[in-house]
């Protein structure tokens, strides 16, 4: 494969990506197709039984029309189920904050959507202006936090005389494990214990879907439960904080992995063939080790003339 030209490498990468998409679609079709058909058959059976029992009281097609209105409202996050108002105010301040955070983080849970034309137009303008600002903020935070994250690995490399590539790999693995435990496993255990109606796998699925900005929206903490309005709003605010902090931690972990020499080697293979730089060979830990170990050059005295 080393003799392939760059355009052939890009073509190979595109073909591999297409094959991965097709494989994922086939696997999901095989796994999710039969359960979906079972749910559809059960729904039709329930609908037929309901019409057979209450057919004399309902005009023909009235139930289908009502269900169509209810499902259309449900698609926008509006539900009449429950009598305590825990979800009646979909646009109170905590819910609106969670919605704007889902826009700026590109999570997009889909549990709530704007109904008015003005709201939809505002979302377009808000996302167009807010997404670049959010990316700039994340870039600034990344620039400030990555050097601090590299210092433990640089200290370990200097302490135990580890090779820069090995120290960078250990640091990336440690940071990835820390993020997985702190922002996926522990919140999933908490959600599993509090929610009560979801499994541990569903809780992990929700946490990972949120931090990876997939945000399918099929599972949302507190949704569909008859919670007190104050508890429901508190849960919305907690989810907002978790989303912002968790996405930042996930970004730092991904950025740390992207700085690995092995990743640079793969990128260079599919990129243009150029000279290998010291930055590509060392990675973030080696640069931090160099910054910690190399003393700053002494300032030139007035008597010393600079060399030509």
In this structure, of 49-53, 75-79, 99-103, the range with the lowest mean pLDDT score is 75-79
Query: Does 214 reside within a domain?
Result: yes
Q: What is the mean pLDDT of the chain?
A: 75
Q: Are 222 and 86 in contact (CB under 8 A)?
A: yes
Give the pLDDT score at 32.
84
Give the pLDDT score at 184.
92
What phi and psi, each to the nearest 5 degrees, are found at residue 177?
Answer: -65, -40
- Sign of the Cα torsion 42, 45, 47, 50 reads negative
Query: Does 274 reside within a domain?
Result: yes
Radius of gyration (C-alpha) of the chain in whole angstroms: 27
pLDDT for residue 307 is more than 50: no
Give the model confidence (pLDDT) of 210-247 as tens digits. 888 876 666 666 555 556 677 777 877 888 888 888 88
**DSSP one-letter code for 163:** -
Q: At 160, which CATH number?
A: 1.10.287.70
Instruction: Say which residue the tokens 């955070």 belong to.
Output: 101
pLDDT for residue 275 is more than 60: no
pLDDT for residue 117 is more than 90: no
For Cα atoms 221, 223, 224, give the angle at the middle one, nearest 5 degrees: 140
Q: Are 206 and 191 in contact (CB under 8 A)?
A: yes
Give the pLDDT score at 200.
87
Give the pLDDT score at 246.
87
Give the pLDDT score at 303.
47
pLDDT for residue 298 is more than 60: no
d(CA 232, CA 221): 9
Give the pLDDT score at 138.
80
Burial of 307 (0-12, 13-18, 19+ CB in 10 A): exposed
pLDDT for residue 182 is more than 90: yes
Cα–Cα separations (whole angstroms), residue 218 to 106, 214, 289, 303? 16, 11, 45, 73
d(CA 175, CA 255): 11
Give the pLDDT score at 258.
82
Query: Does 217 reside within a domain?
Result: yes
- Give residue 183's pLDDT band: very low, low, confident or very high (50, 70, 90): very high
pLDDT for residue 278 is more than 60: no
What is the per-residue DSSP string for 245-281?
HHHHHHHHHHHHHHTSHHHHHHHHHHS---PPPHHHH
d(CA 77, CA 119): 14
Query: Does 95 reside within a domain?
Result: yes
Nearest alpha carbon to residue 292 among 284, 280, 301, 300: 284
CA 131 distance to own-chain centroid: 15
- Give residue 89's pLDDT band: very low, low, confident or very high (50, 70, 90): low
Query: Does 128 reside within a domain?
Result: yes
pLDDT for residue 290 is more than 50: no
The distance in angstroms from the start CA to the end CA of the chain is 48
Query: Does 181 reside within a domain?
Result: yes
d(CA 195, CA 187): 12
What percentage of the chain carries pLDDT values higher than 90?
4
In the chain, which residue ranges form alpha helices assigned H by DSSP? Answer: 6-54, 62-75, 93-104, 117-160, 164-180, 186-195, 200-211, 229-258, 261-270, 278-282, 284-293
Give the pLDDT score at 180.
92
Q: Would you put residue 294 in left (φ > 0), alpha (ψ -120 to 50) or beta?
A: beta
Domain count, the chain: 1
Query: Does 42 reside within a domain?
Result: no
Give the pLDDT score at 206.
86
Give the pLDDT score at 186.
93
Q: What is the mean pLDDT of residues 73-100?
A: 64
Query: Does 131 reside within a domain?
Result: yes
Q: What is the mean pLDDT of residues 270-296?
A: 50
Domain assignment of residue 213, given as a range = 88-290
Cα–Cα separations (whole angstroms), residue 25 to 13, 29, 33, 187? 18, 6, 11, 29
pLDDT for residue 304 is more than 70: no
pLDDT for residue 64 is more than 90: no
In this structure, of 28-42, 79-93, 148-162, the range with the lowest mean pLDDT score is 79-93
pLDDT for residue 119 is more than 70: yes
pLDDT for residue 50 is more than 70: yes
What count of other Cβ atoms lies within 10 Å of the Cβ of residue 192?
A: 17
């Amino acid at each position: 494969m080393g003799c392939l030209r760059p355009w052939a490498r890009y073509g190979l990468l595109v073909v591999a990506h297409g094959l991965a998409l097709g494989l994922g679609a086939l696997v999901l079709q095989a796994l999710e197709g039969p359960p979906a058909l079972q749910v559809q058959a059960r729904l039709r059976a329930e609908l037929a039984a309901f019409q057979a029992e209450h057919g004399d009281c309902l005009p023909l097609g009235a139930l289908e029309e009502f269900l169509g209105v209810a499902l259309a409202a449900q698609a926008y996050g509006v539900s009449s189920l429950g009598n305590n108002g825990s979800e009646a105010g979909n646009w109170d301040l905590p819910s609106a904050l969670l919605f704007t955070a889902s826009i700026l983080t590109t999570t997009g849970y889909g549990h709530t959507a704007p109904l008015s034309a003005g709201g939809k137009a505002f979302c377009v303008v808000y996302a167009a202006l807010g997404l670049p600002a959010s990316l700039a903020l994340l870039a600034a935070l990344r620039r400030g936090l990555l050097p601090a994250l590299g210092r433990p690995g640089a200290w370990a490399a200097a302490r135990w005389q580890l090779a820069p590539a090995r120290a960078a790999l250990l640091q990336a693995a440690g940071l990835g494990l820390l993020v997985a435990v702190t922002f996926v496993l522990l919140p999933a255990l908490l959600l599993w214990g509090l929610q009560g109606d979801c499994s541990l796998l569903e809780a992990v699925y929700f946490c990972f879907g949120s931090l990876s900005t997939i945000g399918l929206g099929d599972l949302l903490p507190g949704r569909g439960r008859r919670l007190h309005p104050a508890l429901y709003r508190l849960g919305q605010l907690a989810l907002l904080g978790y989303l912002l902090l968790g996405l930042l931690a996930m970004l730092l972990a991904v950025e740390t992995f992207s700085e690995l020499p092995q990743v640079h080697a793969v990128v260079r293979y599919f990129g243009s063939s150029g000279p290998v730089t010291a930055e590509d060979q060392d990675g973030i830990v080696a640069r931090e080790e160099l910054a910690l170990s190399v003393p700053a050059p002494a300032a030139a005295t007035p008597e010393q003339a600079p060399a030509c």
